[in-house]
Structure 1
Amino acid sequence: MKIAIASDHAAVALKAELREWLIEEGHEVADLGPDTAESVDYPNYGYMLAGVVADGTVERGIGLCGSGIGISMALNRNPDVRCALVSEPASARLCREHNDANVIAMGARLIGPDMAKACIEAFLKTEFEGGRHQRRVDKLSNPS
């Protein structure tokens, strides 16, 4: 699967570990940065990640910042992105099953690498149920 991953400075180390793990798992990974822990603005990286998800360059996205909150807000400004902030596998599974999430966000200061990997695994392996959920998901991009 083609996956893009982006973070802010607070999550650079977690991003690097997750990128390497995803590659080992056989995924094609686009690391959108940053490359150092020098202070950056999470909206810039959220918007960049949202762009490649929305235009179909990648199938799924992973956004990381200190809490996961800021980058998830930036990602969800794009009407073609459905980003869920997750901290355990059940939420990662449900955001796919019920909400057709195409991006997950996590907080590097709140989640360890093993839990982050478990969340990503659930997110990537779960299919959207469709059916009764489709009408609701459609309203996320077209509220009228």
Structure 2
Amino acid sequence: MTISIGNDHAGTAYKMSVLNQLKAKGIRVINHGTDSTESVDYPDFIHPVAQDVENGEAQFGIIICGSGNGANMTANKHQGIRSALCWTKEIVALARQHNNANVLSIPARFVSEQQALQFVTTFLETEFEGGRHQNRIGKIACQ
């Protein structure tokens, strides 16, 4: 499995922890940065994650910014992306089960680092339920 990850300056510390967690599980990671806490424009780091997921270079994406909103909005501009802004483990699970989310957006300023790591585990371990939800997914993508 390959995960693409990107963040702005508010998400750097969390991203480093997520990278360590993923690598410890033997998951290949494409890191689009930033690896600094100096102010950056999040779209520069989020668009490449969305492109990796869209073109099949990565199965999933993880994006992190202060509120999670800007990163989430940026990723969802891509036709093949279903990015979910999540602030509880339950929302993460539902995003995968019902919406087949392929990108997880984490709001670094509103959840703890430990929660963020739990979100990543839940995101990767939760399967899409399909069934009645599949038709809805097609409607999200305007199919």
After TM superposition, the score normalised by the length of structure 1 is 0.96
Which segments of structure 1 move beyond 2 Å, counting only runs of 4 or more?
none
Identity of aligned residues (%): 40
Aligned to 1:140: 140
Distance in 2, Cα, partners of 1:77 & 1:106: 17
Aligned to 2:80: 80
Deviation at 1:48, TM superposition (A): 1.2
**Residues 6 and 64 of structure 1 are in contact (CA less than 8 Å); yes or no, is this contact kept in structure 2?**
yes
Deviation at 1:36, TM superposition (A): 1.1
> For the aligned residues, what is the CA RMSD?
1.0
Aligned to 1:111: 111
After TM superposition, the score normalised by the length of structure 2 is 0.96
Deviations 1:63-96 (A, max 9, x none): 0001101100000000100000001111111101
Aligned to 1:59: 59
Deviation at 1:101, TM superposition (A): 0.3
Structure 2: which amino acid aligns with 1:18? V
User: Structure 1: 5+ residue runs without aligned partners?
Assistant: none
**Residues 18 and 120 of structure 2 are in contact (CA less than 8 Å); yes or no, is this contact kept in structure 1?**
no
Deviation at 1:46, TM superposition (A): 1.5
Number of corresponding residues: 143
Distance in 2, Cα, partners of 1:20 & 1:52: 20
Is 1:94 aligned to 2:94, yes or no? yes
Distance in 2, Cα, partners of 1:44 & 1:134: 31
Aligned to 2:19: 19
**Residues 88 and 118 of structure 1 are in contact (CA less than 8 Å); yes or no, is this contact kept in structure 2?**
no
Distance in 2, Cα, partners of 1:78 & 1:19: 24
